[in-house]
Chains A and B, each alone.
Chain A
């Protein structure tokens, strides 16, 4: 599998720093929830840059949408978030990655834990869960600075109403919505233990966020009795890959 041409067919501003791009890629075979694509940009002088982005759209949709968070000093994300327009052409390779994936083939409980833009592959799982009318218990713990920087905030609220087997817990670290029952705080061990499915549920746990976030959460989960082989992690660092 190599790079294929793709056209940007829609853009949506999610937060001040993040946009969702819909990509129409040649011969796109569809994806599984949790997978990513590599996006290649080529400058007029031939210089290329490749970055991996998590797919945000539902597996059932057959549509490729990536949600990109602008990284300070980023080489590719500022273009995708601030500059790219409908009709622009890029190249994509994928879908890629078969580990951090929810296949939707069982009703086994699933706990999702996302930090910041680490929620993107988890959103693909939540959307896929809804589209498939899955009855697998799904619970999301989303750690984010504030409601305005939360990705998919309105859609998540709407989905907790429409998808009866979905539960969502927000952990706001800097600012909460008005009337929120708790004050902003960094996610700590007690909060994690209070808002994730317990080990006796046999839940598979997907954790995605920055490296320190993932490391801390994974350690707390193991100490709380979750079997390490039930915990799947994905760390991002503005995932960049040389060609």
Chain B
């Protein structure tokens, strides 16, 4: 399997299992460099044990999601905040 580099938008499905709004349309501020970006346009790596979403500005980790089937781990510590527009 080749290493895929995807857009954050590919995390929309897994996040929809946990949240009632689409988080990929939200803007997030990178805790590492302060860059604000829509999650859909961040960089997503899916060849780790889970999903890793990184900042397009500094490559810092914004979000990690690991799904073992019966449990999910979600690490959002790389995001200072998310700005979510009501649909």
Contact = CB atoms under 8 A, between A and B. Distances in A.
Interface in B11-60: 11-14, 16-17, 22, 24-25, 38-41, 46-47, 49-51
Interface in A81-120: 93-94, 96-101
Interface residues of A, number: 30
B13 A239 contact: no
Contacts of A36: 9-10, 12-13
B17 A239 contact: no
A73 B3 CA distance: 12
A98 B22 contact: yes
Given A75-B1, A97-B22, A99-B40, A239 B10 contact: yes
A39 B7 CA distance: 17
Interface in B56-82: 67, 69
A113 to B, nearest CB: 15
Nearest to A233: B41
A242 interface: yes
A100 B24 CA distance: 10
A235 B46 contact: no
Contact of A97 (B1, B12, B67): B12
Interface of B: 1-2, 4-7, 9-14, 16-17, 22, 24-25, 38-41, 46-47, 49-51, 67, 69, 87
